């Protein structure tokens, strides 16, 4: 996200500082550095196994770094207690790759789950919030439906509504277009942008889908074997002369990524 002369620097909502993660002697992440500004849509791209999901788990505090740290609103979280992490996580909503809805709960109860466990709202207040969040994602009136009766795109939108229930200021999306047809993937892309515009949320998208990332992201980084090998706005990444980046963007079968 660029800043014009005379403007103050954008507020950093999420930052990785020299973040590394090693397990069983294997480096999964190596010296990761980036920042995500307020209201920015920031994407993390890369092939399967490049470290994208592990990085997302660090951001939400589910994994502790071997060295370095993640900062949320300037607060380093790598060594916080679980109780302290709970307060930080309240700032974040997570949309999972396969929605991760509770199959035994209705749509309404899925969206209400965090409200019932983490707030003291009355049943009427919870019902009002559930209705509001479902309306936000275009799923009004679906409270009584079960996840098994929803399409893939509908499940994604209910998952986003559930993530929005506690009014997060940061949204994390794990492969938001995965498994969706092109039209529904476009609907999800538009929803991510609209949530930024209407709710002022900062968004981090983890994806291998270049087309959708470049369609909505302000900036992106590309991970390869746990390291960031490129960072910039979509147009600058398209002009990159790095062979790994160009093969990934083009989807070519021939190139350094495939030996």
Other Cβ atoms less than 10 A from the Cβ of 167: the count is: 12
**What is the CATH architecture of 11-91+169-181+201-250?**
3-Layer(aba) Sandwich (3.40)
Other Cβ atoms less than 10 A from the Cβ of 248: the count is: 25
* Confidence class for position 228, pLDDT limits 50, 70, 90: very high
Could you tell me where in the chain the CATH 3.40.50.300 domains are found?
11-91+169-181+201-250
> Rounded mean pLDDT of 45-65?
94
Identify which of 28, 6, 7 has the alpha carbon closest to the alpha carbon of residue 19: 28
> Rounded mean pLDDT of 92-119?
93
Report pLDDT digits (tens) over 17-53: 999 999 999 999 999 999 999 999 999 999 988 999 9
User: How distant is the alpha carbon of residue 109 from its chain centre?
Assistant: 23
* Confidence class for position 13, pLDDT limits 50, 70, 90: very high
> Rounded mean pLDDT of 109-129?
95
* φ, ψ at 3 (rounded to 5°): -125, 125
Question: Is residue 197's pLDDT more than 60?
Answer: yes
Question: Is residue 9's pLDDT more than 70?
Answer: no
The residue whose two tokens read 């849509």 is 41
* Confidence class for position 10, pLDDT limits 50, 70, 90: low
């Amino acid at each position: 996200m660029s800043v014009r002369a005379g403007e103050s620097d954008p507020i950093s909502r999420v930052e990785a500082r020299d973040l590394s993660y090693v397990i069983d002697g294997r480096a999964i992440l190596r010296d990761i550095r980036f920042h995500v500004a307020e209201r920015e849509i920031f994407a993390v791209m890369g092939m399967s196994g490049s470290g994208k999901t592990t990085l997302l788990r660090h951001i939400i505090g589910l994994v502790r770094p071997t060295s370095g740290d993640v900062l949320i609103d300037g607060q380093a979280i790598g060594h916080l207690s679980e109780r302290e992490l709970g307060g930080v996580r309240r700032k974040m909503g997570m949309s999972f790759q396969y929605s991760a809805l509770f199959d035994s709960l209705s749509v309404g109860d899925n969206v209400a789950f965090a409200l019932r466990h983490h707030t003291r709202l009355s049943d009427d207040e919870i019902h009002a919030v559930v209705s509001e969040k479902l309306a936000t994602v275009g799923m009004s009136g679906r409270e009584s439906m079960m996840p098994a009766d929803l399409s893939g795109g509908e499940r994604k939108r209910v998952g986003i509504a559930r993530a929005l229930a506690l009014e997060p200021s940061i949204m994390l999306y794990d492969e938001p277009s995965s498994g969706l047809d092109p039209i529904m993937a476009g609907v999800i892309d538009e929803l991510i942008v609209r949530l930024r515009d209407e709710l002022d949320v900062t968004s981090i998208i983890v994806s291998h889908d270049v087309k959708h990332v470049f369609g909505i992201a302000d900036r992106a980084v590309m991970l390869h074997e746990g390291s960031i090998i490129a960072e910039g706005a979509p147009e600058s990444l398209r002009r990159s002369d790095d062979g790994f980046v160009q093969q990934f963007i083009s989807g070519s079968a021939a190139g350094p990524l495939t030996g």
